[in-house]
């Protein structure tokens, strides 16, 4: 079963890698780029918020720092991939700076604290870099969508792969123990602060890489845009819709989120924000485990019904 799953994943990646060679519409390639970006963001956020139970509303800071560093270095002549890596490392530096004071807060206070820190950075960047981050003419002329597609695809594979390895590792089990009960984890010799910091660093680094890929993808945007709270809320919404603390949940949530968002933007415009707000509240109230949890309940119910019917139809039951 496990080998079949691995083969299926490899085949899916190969098929996705062949898409630019057979699909001519840029709209489809752009949509897939967004899907891969949001899968990366949701899966990265889930490492801290889902595996470790630390609900962050400040991940836009890591995303923005990754985009800022990568964009500034790239347009000044540095190669794009080292620039993206530098963006991820800058996000890690900021994560370490805010990690110790932030983890003194718990629950809703931690969420509000991370939101406040990210908002401070948002305002600061808006004042320091009030201009538009436009590409130089030579880069604009040489712009191609296919390399961006493969960058987003590779990033999504890496982030999901890291999440999978964490779930099946001793470190990941320690993070989940901290999520369930910090005091109990500490009594078993698991350092809550160490595991939360590691989760924050890994999550921030991957989110920073996603920010760098965003900076490479977009032709023109305000430097402040990647720092807006919208990005943090989108990450949280996707993970809760799909299912927190799972590997598959953020992927399902991201695909659902992007497809529904594109549909609503084309049909209802700015009102899509209200619809997503209502959807998020409904998911939290009635589907706390997300789509993954709902699917498991339906699957278990169908399995139970099938077994019950089999028992009723068996000769032993009739006799």
Q: Quote the pLDDT of residue 310.
A: 65
CB atoms within 10 A of CB 77: 8
Q: How far apart are CA 60 and CA 15, in angstroms?
A: 31
CB atoms within 10 A of CB 45: 27
CB atoms within 10 A of CB 79: 10
Q: Quote the pLDDT of residue 319.
A: 53
H helix intervals, 76-144 = 80-102, 108-128, 137-141
Q: Quote the pLDDT of residue 210.
A: 97
Q: Quote the pLDDT of residue 311.
A: 65
Q: What separation, in Å, do the N-terminal and C-terminal C-alpha atoms of the chain show?
A: 37
Q: How far apart are CA 244 and CA 231, in angstroms?
A: 17
Q: Quote the pLDDT of residue 299.
A: 77
Buried b (16+ CB within 10 A) or exposed e, 208-226: bbbbbbbbbbeeebebbbb
pLDDT tens digit at each of 319 positions of the chain: 677 888 888 999 999 999 999 988 898 999 999 999 999 999 999 999 999 999 999 999 999 999 999 999 998 889 999 999 999 999 999 999 988 888 888 878 888 889 999 999 999 999 999 988 888 888 888 889 999 999 999 999 999 999 999 998 999 999 999 998 888 888 888 999 999 999 999 999 999 999 999 999 998 899 999 999 999 999 999 999 998 999 999 999 999 999 988 888 878 777 777 887 787 788 777 777 788 877 777 877 777 677 666 666 666 555 5
């Amino acid at each position: 079963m496990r080998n079949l799953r691995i083969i299926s994943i490899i085949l899916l990646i190969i098929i996705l890698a062949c898409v630019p060679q057979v699909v001519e519409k840029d709209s489809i390639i752009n949509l897939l780029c967004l899907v891969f970006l949001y899968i990366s963001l949701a899966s990265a956020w889930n490492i801290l918020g889902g595996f470790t139970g630390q609900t962050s509303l400040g991940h836009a800071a890591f995303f923005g720092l990754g985009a800022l560093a990568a964009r500034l270095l790239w347009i000044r002549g540095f190669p794009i991939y080292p620039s993206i890596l530098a963006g991820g490392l800058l996000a890690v530096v900021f994560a370490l700076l805010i990690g110790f004071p932030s983890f003194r807060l718990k629950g809703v206070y931690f969420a509000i604290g991370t939101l406040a820190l990210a908002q401070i950075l948002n305002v600061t960047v808006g004042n320091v870099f009030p201009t538009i981050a436009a590409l130089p003419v030579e880069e604009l002329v040489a712009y191609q969508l296919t390399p961006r597609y493969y960058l987003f695809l590779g990033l999504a594979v890496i982030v999901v792969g890291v999440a999978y390895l964490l779930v099946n590792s001793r470190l990941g089990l320690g993070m989940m123990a901290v999520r369930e009960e910090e005091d109990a984890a500490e009594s078993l010799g698991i350092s809550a602060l160490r595991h939360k910091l590691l989760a924050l660093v890994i999550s921030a680094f991957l989110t920073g890489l996603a920010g760098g890929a965003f900076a490479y993808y977009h032709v023109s945007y305000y430097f402040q845009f990647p720092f807006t709270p919208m990005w943090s809320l989108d990450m949280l919404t996707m993970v809760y819709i799909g299912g927190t603390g799972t590997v598959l949940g953020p992927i399902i949530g991201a695909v659902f989120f992007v497809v529904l968002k594109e549909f609503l933007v084309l049909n209802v415009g700015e009102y899509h924000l209200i619809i997503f707000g209502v959807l998020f509240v409904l998911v939290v109230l009635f589907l706390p485990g997300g789509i993954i949890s709902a699917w498991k309940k339906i699957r278990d119910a169908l399995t139970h019904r099938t077994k019950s019917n089999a028992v009723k139809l068996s000769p032993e039951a009739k006799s």
